[in-house]
A and B are shown apart, each in its own frame.
Chain A
Amino acid sequence: MNFEILHRPAHSMARVHLNANESVLAESGAMIGMSPNVQMQTQAGGLMSGIKRMFGGESFFRNTFTAHNGPGEVLLAHALCGDMRTLEMTQYGYFVQSSSFVASTPNVQTETKIGGFKTFFAGEGVFVLKATAPSPGALLIGAFGGIEELQCDGNLVIDTGHLVAWDATLDYSVGKSGSGWIASFLSGEGLVCHFRGQGRIWIQTRNASAYGQAIGSMLPPRSA
């Protein structure tokens, strides 16, 4: 399998080349096109994990695309304008902001984690997936805006709306950005994620909820 990413960075699309009988697991709704010998199978992967995924802002279902009788291809894209990239699986795995997950090799196991109690009420919930794989594989992630890789060397503080993925070697905790709740509110930064340890963090250069608020405040109120 090979992921080829085209039209970067603003409107990226991934072309997944599948060998015969190979599969790729993709977020529902991500498919743009596929060869005629590719078959799609929808799976919930268990009721509880499906419900957990829905809480995380993802879809209940995921689709598996398998090439039968020879090689085939699947075209995938993310809903928002922005870049995509692949992450090669490591023995530690990754944490992925749930809405950034686009696709993975079928050996990748994902588990939804809720990033702490207080984030649940703050709107920009930090629902993350922990992605691990017992053998080599890859993740395909999509971002809003560009993707930048930051090297965490001890301490970094990152706005939760800009997080895409990070090495599972890092410790993280979600908290307020300023010294107090009022200062955090006025600072406009909302919630931030504190990282400790060594590892890589991928951030997106735009924040979907900040974009929504900037435009949403100018839109007419929704009629009931």
Chain B
Amino acid sequence: MQPQMAPQGYPQPPMAYGAPGAGPTAAHQITHGPSFAMLRVDLRPGETLVAEAGAMIARHQRVGMEVKLNAGRSAGIFAKLKAIFIALVRKAIGGETFFVNHFTTPQSGSVWLAPALSGQIQYRRMQGETLVLSSGAYLAHMGDVDLKLKFGGLRGMLAKEGAFFLAVSGLGDLWYTSYGGIEYVDVNGSYMIDNGHLVGYEGNLTFNIRTAGGGMMGFMASGEGLVCEFQGQGRVWIQTRNLGALVSWLSPLLP
């Protein structure tokens, strides 16, 4: 009664090395996408991988892990207090804690990371530009990359997902994640995106939060809630699922 093995394993993409250019390039591999993506980063001595708290699946024992408050580079005392305050608020309302883990290794070693929700992981090599990520989209970074918290304004607060953004800039490697698949839209002029589906956008774009149209009736009855109206020229990344929608579908079904 020898069991027959079903074909196992996934087609594995080759290890990716960031494009040549200034700054560090991380040896990494994203597998199991698009539904259950996982990231593996092979660290070399002297490299530091910074990852969202709780994202680690596994690491070699020689890879050290240290928890830090995500206050940005060379943050002053005021920025640190602000980060602590935001960390507490976020702990209360859910989402990232803004504590991050720093992984370093004396010899080469690997770290495996994944987000909590089902979805994809994407890699971007930062070359001095600014990218703004919506709350929950940040997974990890390496190199000379700065993370700054941005407050989405009062209207952003109303829209829940728009309360905080993370502005990422600098030179290095960035991995971000989504709930569902990741699609991009090249905005030239103006484009509307449901704010629960927003993953991130290029820093040269601006947006306003507004209703999708149809006045008060449209806001209440269309099920579209609030949208972000982007202006300018640049790329916006969207996710094919919306956590807020899942929660409002699930809530009435609970005992």
Contact = CB atoms under 8 A, between A and B. Distances in A.
Interface stretch (A39-47, A58-66, A113-121, A201-209): A201-209
B10 A85 contact: no
19 contacts: A2-B4, A3-B6, A10-B35, A19-B1, A105-B3, A145-B36, A146-B35, A154-B61, A158-B58, A162-B58, A162-B114, A177-B65, A178-B65, A183-B67, A187-B56, A188-B99, A205-B31, A214-B116, A218-B244
B6 A4 contact: yes
B247 A218 contact: yes
Nearest to B96: A188
Interface of A: 1-5, 9-10, 19, 22, 81-83, 85-86, 88, 105, 136-138, 145-146, 148-150, 154-159, 162, 177-179, 183, 186-190, 194, 203, 205-207, 210-211, 213-215, 217-220, 222-223
B86 interface: no
Interface string B1-43: 1111110111000000000000000000001100111100000
A178 B66 CA distance: 7
Contact of A138 (B3, B9, B53, B251): B3
Contacts of B254: 219-220, 222
B31 A146 contact: yes
A148 B8 contact: no
A159 B117 contact: no
A179 B2 CA distance: 46
Given A85-B8, A215-B250, A155 B32 contact: no
A62 to B, nearest CB: 18
Given A150-B58, A178-B67, A205 B4 contact: no
Contact of B61 (A145, A155, A183, A189): A155
B3 A137 contact: yes
Contact of A146 (B36, B54, B58): B36
Contacts of A157: 58-61
> Sorted from nearest, which 8 A-B pairs have the closest CB atoms?
A188-B54, A155-B61, A188-B53, A146-B32, A145-B36, A138-B3, A187-B67, A217-B94
Contacts of B53: 186-189
B104 interface: no
A150 B56 CA distance: 15
Given A5-B6, A155-B61, A187-B67, A210 B54 contact: yes
